[in-house]
Amino acid sequence: MPTYEYVCEACNHRFDEFQSMKEEPLKDCPKCNQASLRRLFGCGAAVLFKGSGFYETDYRSESYKSAAKAEQDASKPATSTSTSTSSGTGSPSTPTTSGTPAGKSDTKSS
């Protein structure tokens, strides 16, 4: 539903009204109660998307989606060529046993 902008010609009160396209334009001013409202033309008579969840990529064409998927699939093998170690705790030259580095004992001195 679009938001329309109105102006009262009697008191110059301007306001926006959210109403259906099928509804008749408002006639009575909410401020001075005179039947002198005029609906303005311009950018105010449009649908306003407010809130989260409205993204420009939500309504992409099927050709765009397939081209983007092909591009993404083509770039996957190039990024997975690096090698990594599976130890996860330190450099590969430092062996570890039971969570302590090599050469250090697990006992505490008293």
Burial class (CB in 10 A: 0-12, 13-18, 19+), 8: buried
Q: Shortest CA distance to 14 belongs to which of 23, 3, 22?
A: 3
Chain-wide mean pLDDT for the chain?
A: 73
Q: Please name the residues in contact with 44: beta carbons below 8 A apart, sequence gap of 6 or more.
A: 3, 4, 5, 16
Domain ranges of the chain: 2-47
CATH of segment(s) 2-47: 2.20.28
The dihedral region occupied by 73, where left means phi > 0, alpha psi between -120 and 50, and beta the remainder, is alpha
The dihedral region occupied by 2, where left means phi > 0, alpha psi between -120 and 50, and beta the remainder, is beta
pLDDT tens digit sequence for 85-98? 555 555 555 555 55
Highest-scoring range by mean pLDDT, 4-13, 36-45, 94-103: 4-13
Cα 5 from Cα 18, distance rounded (Å): 9
Which of helix, strand or coil describes residue 6?
strand
Residues 70-91, mean pLDDT to the nearest whole number:
63
pTM: 0.39
